Amino acid sequence: MTSGLRFLVAAKRCEIAELEQLALTSALVNVTGRLVHGLQRERGLSNLFLGSQGQQFGEVRRQQIGESRQIEAELRACFDELDTDSALVGNGARLFSRMAYVLHGLDALEGLRLRVQALEWSPRQATEAYVRLITGLLAVVFEAADSASDPEISRLLVALFNFMQGKEFAGQERATGSALFAAGRAEAVEQQRLLHLIESQERCLEVFAEFSNAQALELWNATQASAMLAELERLRRVLCTAAHGAPLNDQLSKAWFDCCSRRIDRMKAVEDRLALDLLQACEEKVTAAHAELGRFHALNNSPATEPDVLSFFQTPSGANAGGYATAPTSYGPHLERSILELVQEQARRLQSMSEELDTVRASLNERKLIERAKGLLMAHRHLSEEDAHKTMRQMAMNQNRRLVEVAEAVLSMADMLPERLA
């Protein structure tokens, strides 16, 4: 094999390895999404259970716990199958590190369930514990999206991550609303929280719409047109417009939970569709890359010809700039030149993929900015992560600004922080 061809093949092998890695990661994301869904239901039911002093929802909660346990076992099996002895391509360190965190959370999950069962924890405490675990699971999906080196896959992962994050906000909305109805009394702080959760989920869904494929988006839009949404908006109005301290009809607790759940279940269907398309896209790309690799290998068996040594300096490097698809399929008299053209095409394609990827990844930067600002608050004010997040969310509510705007403001006034926020 000529040296040029050998490295052409090596580059293609790297692409294939990354795509296969992405296929594995996508399968993991799929199970992660299902576990998140199960834990979201479990969280909601635990809130209803705690809200009713353990008088109601015990049985349905127990059933849900059983389901969650099954999916958890699946996810653990997925993790176990991962070859942790060899390094992952891409940002494997961050992905593994998120998984390590999640596993600690899953180890602690039975303890949490016992505390809820024994009515030892308040709905608030239980919600926060579930939120922490789900946040950890979503961070795995985020890293997967951030590590994808193929722009089309990356778009689907970004769409999926944002949809899952939006669905989690919808889940938190369900829990917060359930707790409010169950308590039977409107509370301004929680009402503010609800409004913020509604706004946050809408923003995530916008990003989803920007990056989703047509099929998932269509499915989502069809969901949006349903009568169920009118019922949700009516209950949202009841919850959010009641004066602080005014009574809420605790009989609506179940209606609220069911309505939110129906919506979230429909969201799950959209999520499943996206996850399926993602897996399929990975498979197609792996197949295509293997076919391409086969073509490269076939070149090696072409009859040897006098190498055209100067083609490197004489071929305009912009020839065939039109793209990959125009690659010649038969390699006759000028093998050397043909390989050079393939090399140039490969370089151009990788270049344009990397440019497209930069664009897709820019959408992940908002989240990174928020994380960075949070880290700054944690360091400067010795806050826990939760408290840093709460502080920023409170600033966003007070100033009626987006969380990312608050994050930018926090980062830009980093030097003044200790005084300004003390």
- Site for its own copies, residues 230 to 249, rule: CB under 8 A: none
Based on the shown chain and the rule CB under 8 A, indicate whether residue 5 belongs to the binding site for its own copies: yes
User: Cα separation of 422 and 420, whole Å?
Assistant: 6
Closest-CA residue to 149 (of 273, 35, 289, 46): 289
Q: How far apart are CA 292 and CA 346, in angstroms?
A: 11
Exactly one of 59, 63, 66, 104 binds its own copies (CB under 8 A); that residue is 104
In whole angstroms, what is the distance from residue 370 CA to residue 204 CA?
Answer: 14
CA distance 156 to 317: 33
298 is an interface residue for its own copies by CB under 8 A: no
**DSSP code for 53:** T
Residue of 221, 224, 226, 351 interacting with its own copies (CB under 8 A): 351
Return the exposure string of 148-159: e unless at least 16 CB atoms fall within 10 Å of the residue's CB, then b.
Answer: bbbbbbbbbbbb
Binders in 34-73 for its own copies, by CB under 8 A = none
Q: Please state the closest distance from residue 268 (CB atom) to its own copies, in A.
A: 25
132 binds its own copies (CB under 8 A): yes
First to last CA, the chain: 67
| Residue from 52, 56, 97, 223 binding its own copies (CB under 8 A) | 97
Span of 11-19, 206-214, 217-225, 251-259 interacting with its own copies by CB under 8 A = 11-19
Decide if residue 142 touches its own copies (CB under 8 A): no
Tell me how far apart the alpha carbons of residues 343 and 5 are, in angstroms, rounded to a whole number.
Answer: 8
- Alpha-carbon distance 35 to 166, whole Å? 16
294: contact with its own copies by CB under 8 A: no
Query: Least distance from C-beta 167 to its own copies, angstroms?
Result: 22
- Using CB under 8 A as the binding rule, the residues of this chain from 329 to 348 that contact its own copies are 336, 339-340, 343-344, 346-348
Binding-site member from 38, 44, 105, 151 for its own copies (CB under 8 A): 105
Other CB atoms within a 10 A radius of the CB of residue 134 amount to: 24
Our CB check for its own copies shows the closer of 15 and 152 to be 15
Distance, CA of 275 to CA of 12 (rounded, Å) = 25
Interaction of residue 293 with its own copies, rule CB under 8 A: no
Contact 246, 185 (CB under 8 A): yes
* Minimum CB–partner distance for residue 93 and its own copies (Å): 4
Interface residues for its own copies in 375-404 (CB under 8 A)? 375, 378-379, 382-388
From 8-16, 37-45, 246-254, 391-399, span contacting its own copies (CB under 8 A): 8-16
Q: Does 324 bind its own copies (CB under 8 A)?
A: no
With a CB cutoff of 8 Å and minimum separation 6, the contacts of 313 are none
